[in-house]
Amino acid sequence: MTSEDGPAGTDPVAADLRAAGARVRGGTPGDAIAGRVPRYVAAPADGAAAGALLAAAARHGLASVPRGNGTKADWGAPPLRCDLVVDTTDLTGIDHAAGDLVAAVGAGTPVADLAAVLAAAGQRLSADPVVAGSTVGGLVATGLSGPRRTLHGPLRDLTIGMTTVRADGTPASSGGRVVKNVAGYDLAKLHTGALGTLGLITSVTFRLHPLPAAVRAVSATAAAPATARAWRHAVAASTTAPTGVELDWPADGPLTLRVLLEGAEDGIEARAAEVAALLPGAATTAAPPPGWAALPGAPGATLLKAAVPPDAAADAAAGVRAAAAAAGTAADVRGSAAAGVLFAALPAGADGAAAAGAVDGARTAVAALGGSLTVPHAAPPLREHGVDLWGEVPGLALMRAIKDRFDPGRLLAPGRFAGGI
């Protein structure tokens, strides 16, 4: 379909959106965001066009929801309104300053494209591709991090600059192109994981790391969560400096703890041996298995995120699984044991009431461990049944105040975020 096709072709609102510098077409059921079919889908050509587009949308009172490749389009709560899907896939471009180990990247750039360009220069963005097929903007707006956060920090720590467009079309940048920089508020922190409710991310600047010379994965199967807990602690208390410590516990399989080591070729065997000695029965491989660090479960599954004090990671995994089983469903659990941030997947087709029961039970178990549980994605049966995706959110009044200042007309993905933000 070309930009002039469909009902949007002669529509004056569409003409206005198009005048902003965007490809515009009418929305189709395939564009629905959590069941809401937009009237328009518009792809701005660049950052300036994105500003003009949102300004035009605001003039017409259209509520907008940003979308990259759409791999997580139905995450969060269903937006209360969705008149316009802002398709970011034309906001591409990679400005890679290899000597400075930074890259400024258009939000619509596929993460895989970025990785390929960086790898050609022997570098990488040290964020795990938790969902395959994501754009950079989608990665940042959902803000999830995998096990590599152990050494390099979560995604937000790798972000050193960001440009966004507010609901009224005003662009705003914060941070910059240097890693060390304390000038002004770091607004990128707010946009990371905000599901587009505070602004449309148009460009992100990352700090990069060199690709490691040597890699090993040391994995062992724990008979009980208490064993995994002791292992996690032993690895953390060792001085082997792992890049990641992953806990992987599929619903129908054993609990595996997997330690990723990266570094100089010379020392890697010795480090791997040191870690293996901490995990009885461990096997060492030249690379982690394919799909490691990805979110658990099949695409479309309901996704839970538990964040607990790190020592409680294995107990949290056990608690979430037990809650799922007690509710009549089953959870695959995977995530960073070292950081204490785990994901659990419930089958997309799971009965709504069972899934809701699993969420409640898991939330209680995780809260008892001093953590919190959210539901980044609810599959349709759970969504229709009804579920509190966020649980208790400390600081919600401040979050509302920020939303009110940034988007007083509630035009950006209204209702998608915590507390109805």
Partner 1 sequence: MPDQLHALIPRLREICGDDGVVTDPMGRRTYASDGIPYHAADPGVVVLPTSTAQVAAVLRLCADNGVPFVPRGAGTGLSAGALPRTDGVLVVTSRMRRILEIDTANERAVVEPGVANLDITRAAAPHGYYYAPDPSSQQVCTVGGNIAENSGGAHCLKYGFTVHHVTGLVVVTPSGDTVRLGGKAAEAPGYDLIGAFVGSEGTLGIATEITVRLTRAPQKVSTVLAAFATMDAGGAAVSAIIGAGVLPAAVEMMDALSIEAAEAAVACGYPPGAGAVLIVELDGPTADVDAQFAEVTRMCREAGAFEVRTATDAAERARIWKGRKSAFAAVGRISPAYIVQDGVVPRTALPRVLRRIAELSAESGIRVANVFHAGDGNLHPLVLFDDTEPGAEERAAEVSGRILDLCIEAGGSITGEHGVGIDKACHMPAMFSADDLAAMDLFRRAFDPLGIANPEKLLPTPRLCGERPRVAKGAHPLVAEGRAELF
Positions 235 through 264 that interact with partner 1 (CB under 8 A): 236-241, 263-264
Does 93 engage in binding with partner 1 (CB under 8 A)? Answer: no
- Establish if 367 lies at the interface with partner 1 (CB under 8 A): no
Based on the number of CB atoms within 10 Å of its own CB, is 164 exposed (0-12), middle (13-18) or buried (19 or more)? buried
User: Is residue 162 within the footprint of partner 1 (CB under 8 A)?
Assistant: no
Closer residue to partner 1 (CB): 88 or 374: 374
- Which residues make Cβ contacts (< 8 Å) with residue 216, sequence separation at least 6? 260, 261, 268, 269, 271, 272, 284, 285, 286
Q: How far is the CB of 229 from partner 1 (least distance, A)?
A: 10
Binder among 179, 322, 325, 353 for partner 1 (CB under 8 A): 179
User: Could you give the string, one character per residue 320-339, with x where binding to partner 1 holds by CB under 8 A and - elsewhere?
Assistant: -------------------x
Unique residue bearing structure tokens 């152990």: 150
Beta-carbon-side half-sphere exposure of residue 368 (alpha carbons within 13 Å): 12
Angle (CA) 391 32 414, round 5°: 45
Which one among 2, 252, 290, 398 touches partner 1, defined by CB under 8 A? 398
Query: Of all residues in the chain, what percent are helix, strand and coil, respectively (each to 5)?
Result: 35, 25, 40
- How far apart CA 161 and CA 163 sit, in angstroms, is 7
Give min distance, CB of 97 to partner 1, in A: 7
**One residue of 92, 372, 385, 410 binding partner 1 per CB under 8 A:** 372
Sole window of 38-46, 62-70, 105-113, 365-373 interacting with partner 1 (rule: CB under 8 A): 365-373
Q: Crossing angle of helices 313-326/225-237, nearest 10°?
A: 160
Q: Which is nearer to partner 1, 116 or 401 (CB)?
A: 401
- Residue 76 in the binding site for partner 1 (CB under 8 A): no
> Out of 22, 49, 102, 139, which residue is the one contacting partner 1 (CB under 8 A)?
102
Does position 168 interact with partner 1 (CB under 8 A)? The reply is no
- Least separation in angstroms between residue 24's CB and partner 1 is 25
What gap in Å lies between CA 254 and CA 248, rounded to an integer?
A: 8
Q: Residue 210 contacts by C-beta under 8 Å, 6 or more apart in sequence?
A: 101, 122, 123, 124
Indicate which single residue of 265, 280, 289, 368 sits in contact with partner 1 (rule: CB under 8 A). 265
Question: Which residues, listed in sequence order, are joined to residue 221 by a DSSP beta bridge?
Answer: 256
